[in-house]
Amino acid sequence: MNPSHNLFIIGPTGAGKTSIGRRLAAHYGLTFIDLDQEIERHCGVDVNTVFEIEGEAGFRQRESTLLEEISGRHDVLLATGAGAVLAEGNRRQLGQRGYVVWLQTTIAQQLERLERDHRRPLLAVPDRQERLQAMARVREPLYRELADLAVPGEHGSVASASERCIALIDQHWQRPSAFPRQTA
């Protein structure tokens, strides 16, 4: 059991971190933050432009800087980018500062969900399936190691997936009360 004021969502591209994260934040009364959207807000340009100008290394540095700052807050639900787990420092911050939920999904589900999405620079390749498989080989062991709770991906609506997540989280997450009791 990892008692924490924060809830952090990790998982592959297309797992539903943002869509489900928004619903979980509302349910638990947490401030919702999407890490990629925060990067865009701070830079004033979209993620693709950051990749074009600074490359993946520049993007990852920005991601780590914001993750460190945001994960230090209280009562946030942070939807990380799929690759945020690649940096050891990010994994350490996430593991120490929040309850980490891994939204799992299959390559087939990712391909289906991302079919019309052309905003993701790492998927701007001729063979998306091959790229997703390569990313999964590297990232899944990191997700597994970091997660306090793994939520299996299933087909269905965002609402039903969110309800399933809430049921599982409620069984496993012991959120500290906002005002700890004083002992005399």
Q: Is 19 annotated as a binding residue?
A: yes
Please tell me the distance from the alpha carbon of residue 79 to that of residue 77, in angstroms, as a whole number: 7
Q: What is the dihedral of CA 1, 71, 44, 122, to 10 degrees?
A: -50
Q: Is 60 annotated as a binding residue?
A: yes
Q: Is 71 annotated as a binding residue?
A: no
Question: For 44, left (φ over 0), alpha (ψ -120 to 50), or beta?
Answer: left
Q: Is 73 annotated as a binding residue?
A: no
Q: Is 15 annotated as a binding residue?
A: yes
Q: Is 36 annotated as a binding residue?
A: yes
Q: Is 136 annotated as a binding residue?
A: no
Among residues 93, 84, 73, the alpha carbon closest in space to that of 36 is found at 84
For residue 12, the tally of other CB atoms under 10 A from its CB is 23
Helix (H) or strand (E) holding 103: strand 99-103
Q: Is 91 annotated as a binding residue?
A: no
Q: Is 120 annotated as a binding residue?
A: yes
Per the annotation, where are the binding residues for ATP?
14-19, 120
Q: Which residues are annotated as a binding site?
A: 14-19, 36, 60, 120, 139
Binding-site positions for Mg(2+): 18
Which residues fall in the annotated binding site for substrate? 36, 60, 139
